[in-house]
Amino acid sequence: MKKDLGSVLALYPTPLVVVGTMVNGKPNWVLVGHLGIMGHDHIMVSLAKPHYTNQGIKETKALSVNVVDEEMLKKADYAGCVSGAKTDKSELFDYEIGRNGAPLISEAKLSMECTVEDNYEMKTFDNFILTIDHTYAEEAILNEAGKIDYDKYKPILFEMPGYTYLRTGETAAKCMALGREMKEE
Amino acid sequence: MKKDLGSVLALYPTPLVVVGTMVNGKPNWVLVGHLGIMGHDHIMVSLAKPHYTNQGIKETKALSVNVVDEEMLKKADYAGCVSGAKTDKSELFDYEIGRNGAPLISEAKLSMECTVEDNYEMKTFDNFILTIDHTYAEEAILNEAGKIDYDKYKPILFEMPGYTYLRTGETAAKCMALGREMKEE
């Protein structure tokens, strides 16, 4: 018998990312853990409206989504502690400017360069729906087929109820392997 | 120097869930790995339009989102291998009927009972935007404060590039602890 916790967000853990965008001519970085995948070619990042970053995203329609691993966690966490409206965070990360004009974090091993297709607005949140123009990855996190290899690359994950960052663990199974076994039983 | 992989979905790993809904008067179950969090009180599940489940969700507006852990992975994976249009999956899981009429998986340690608020349609996908009416959790996965404890509860995660299921790992840090250290440096 399960316990009724009321209406509690429980879709964790999620990947943790640093979103980069140009705001008033300078790069700004914000930490985001509320996000998602829509269809097979869109991602979504959810940002409370008062964030300084939202202005830049609305103006430029261009942003980077940099996946956080343990090596960049300290700086990423810092980006979540201070607001770009009060503190200039432009030098927090070394960056390159992507083809769409958004700043990409050099030390992130995996980054997506994205364009805003739509904003699904809620009362206090902008939910930016993004197309992925380019995905950039370090060779070291790819397998022989050139795909991201989660045995080599371990993103940091976010969970709200305990307000912690978690590690990505080991492989439990290949998709459809267990289900196919069961079909044959 | 990172490599340009082209436009590749790389926002992984995500939590893995089994969505339950009534279709033609019977429970049906579908495995979903493309999903997300919007704002602080909505979740989103993205389902290709041909899924049998989508009919039921559209008719009833009621569904359950059952978070998958390793103990229920085999059945969850099976739910992803066969279509409810061809195979009656109603007896795959023991279930209880929630207050909104959607079937909730008894053996899932964490389930959300949800109502459809909107459908953000894409050409081949329904992206159901959901309010969370009730969140149900086993006592065994809660801490003393009654919150979900990710030291005790280890959801299974999904990643598309290698098409594997991954385990949730250990705690890396408390949120804002590293960032605050850096502020004081």
Q: Which residues of A touch B81 (CB under 8 A)?
A: 176, 179-180, 182-183
Distance CA B79, CA B67 (A): 13
Work out the minimum CA distance from B91 to partner chain A, whole angstroms: 14
pLDDT tens readout for residues A155-181: 999 999 999 999 999 999 999 999 999
Q: What pLDDT sits at residue B156?
A: 98
The interface predicted TM-score of the complex, written ipTM, equals: 0.97
Q: Which of B107, B167, B54, B86 is nearest to A183 (CA)?
A: B86
Q: Which residues of A touch B11 (CB under 8 A)?
A: 15, 17, 35-37, 43, 65, 67, 112
Average pLDDT of the segment spanning A108-122: 98
Q: What pLDDT sits at residue A89?
A: 87
pLDDT tens readout for residues A13-37: 999 999 999 999 999 999 999 999 9
The helix (run of H) or strand (run of E) holding residue A37 is strand A35-38
Average pLDDT of the segment spanning A65-70: 98
Q: Is the pLDDT assigned to residue A85 strictly greater than 90? A: no
Those residues with Cβ within 8 angstroms of residue B90's Cβ, 6 or more apart along the chain or in another chain: B26, B27, B28
Q: Which of B93, B22, B16, B19 is nearest to B56 (CA)?
A: B22
Q: Which of A93, A123, A57 is nearest to B42 (CA)?
A: A123
B 40-79 residues with CB below 8 A of A?
Answer: 40-44, 46, 48, 65, 67, 70, 73-75, 77-79
Position A101 confidence tier, pLDDT thresholds 50, 70, 90:
very high
**Which is it for the CA torsion B56, B52, B68, B78, positive or negative?**
positive
Give the residues of chain B that fall short of pLDDT 50.
none
Q: What pLDDT sits at residue A86?
A: 85
Strand B62-67 with B17-23, pairing: antiparallel
Distance CA A1, CA B63 (A): 19
Which one of A4, A7, A11 would you mutate to disrupt binding with B, by most B Cβ within 10 Å of its Cβ? A11
Average pLDDT of the segment spanning A68-86: 93
Mutual angle of helices A177-184 and B73-81, in 10-degree steps: 80
